[in-house]
Amino acid sequence: MAESNCTRATEFSLTGFTEDPVTQVTLFLMFLLTYLVTILGNLGMIALIRASPQLHTPMYYFLGNLAFVDLCSSTVITPKMLADFISEKKGIPYAGCMAQVFIFDLFGMTECFLLAMMAYDRYVAICHPLVYPLVMSPQCCFQLVVGSYLVGLTNGMGQTISMSNLSFCGSSVIDLFFCDISPLISLSTSDNTLSHILLRTSASLFGVSSSLVVLVSYVAIISAILSISSAEGKRKAFSTCASHLTTVSIFYGTSFFMYLKPSSDSSREDDKWAAVLYTVVTPMLNPLIYSLRNKEVKEALRRLTKIKLSST
């Protein structure tokens, strides 16, 4: 009865990082620069893949979708965070918070499975090159991408429906810079056991299953690379996987730290900076990693630049 008589929260307050004005300005400029690089990098990657026929392959089809997902997930979080740095009241309406949870969970899980599909693509290309065009056909790639989005949609809807059934009658202060599901569950004044179970089950079922695809693929890939006799052949084979492996390590490492660790294992300050890694930094790094370490991307950019210059 007490819960039914309480005033339910219509708005949440976000603590952000610090109250120090000088530090806030510094962080604002740093995250603004990061977001601009994220927007330009991911939009540039999408445009380059679409404009360059030599990049119309399964690997870059997945990479284009990864860039789109990074663009969306970053845009859900960073603009609001930047606005909070320059405003006195760091609040977000209940509906806006639920929307942020849904969209971020949708694209976050979609990215998990896109990274898994990219690992599978590299496995087929290196371990079974003769059947690669047949296995990774355009229809198959389309189905794998759609499946990744559907898994993300299922995760986002499930988490949001679970959150909408919780009551928030006590504190409405979220000790983070965005509406993440884990601190929201902790704020709830109703029985949150089911929500905790759903969160852990979703993270374990979807996150661990996608990471297993990555792990098994790379075990087979490394085994195949080690069996190559020439050093040049090994280098070329490994270079096609290095960018993806770097991205996977950052994304899965920080995600598992946030959602599968025991709640007492780290401070909230550690959680905030881990969250910065996978919500702000990773979307910026992905296009940089793939453009700086990938010869095909650099060659495609060089050709496109020559064509543009010659046409002017």
Is 215 within the bounds of a domain?
Answer: yes
Query: Given a cut of 50, is residue 1 above it in pLDDT?
Result: no
Query: Given a cut of 90, is residue 226 above it in pLDDT?
Result: no
d(CA 118, CA 67): 13
Is 266 within the bounds of a domain?
Answer: yes
d(CA 118, CA 125): 10
Entry pTM:
0.87
Q: Which of 83-92, 214-223, 294-303 bottoms out in mean pLDDT, i.e. has the lowest?
A: 294-303
CB 300 within 8 A of CB 55: yes
Range of the domain at 245: 11-307
Is 220 within the bounds of a domain?
Answer: yes
Query: Given a cut of 90, is residue 107 above it in pLDDT?
Result: yes
d(CA 65, CA 56): 13
The pLDDT score that the predictor gives to residue 2 is 46
Task: Give pLDDT tens digits for 113-132.
Answer: 999 999 999 999 989 989 99
- Parallel, antiparallel or unpaired: strands 91-93 and 173-174: unpaired
The pLDDT score that the predictor gives to residue 75 is 93
Band (pLDDT 50/70/90 cuts) for residue 90 is confident
Task: Give pLDDT tens digits for 129-182.
Answer: 899 999 999 999 999 999 999 999 998 898 888 887 777 776 678 888 888 888
Q: List 272's β-bridge partners, or say none.
A: none
Is 155 within the bounds of a domain?
Answer: yes
Residue 278 CB contacts under 8 Å (≥ 6 apart), including other chains = 108, 250, 251, 254, 255, 258
Total tally of structural domains belonging to the chain: 1
Query: Given a cut of 80, is residue 253 above it in pLDDT?
Result: no
Is 254 within the bounds of a domain?
Answer: yes
For the domain that residue 119 is a member of, what is the CATH number?
1.20.1070.10
Name the amino acid, one letter, at 163: M
Burial grade of 175 (CB within 10 A; 0-12, 13-18, 19 or more): middle
Is 4 within the bounds of a domain?
Answer: no
Please compute the mean of the pLDDT values over residues 271-289 and round it to a whole number.
83
Band (pLDDT 50/70/90 cuts) for residue 58 is very high
Is 3 within the bounds of a domain?
Answer: no
CA 246 vs CA 91, 118, 289: distances in Å: 35, 13, 8
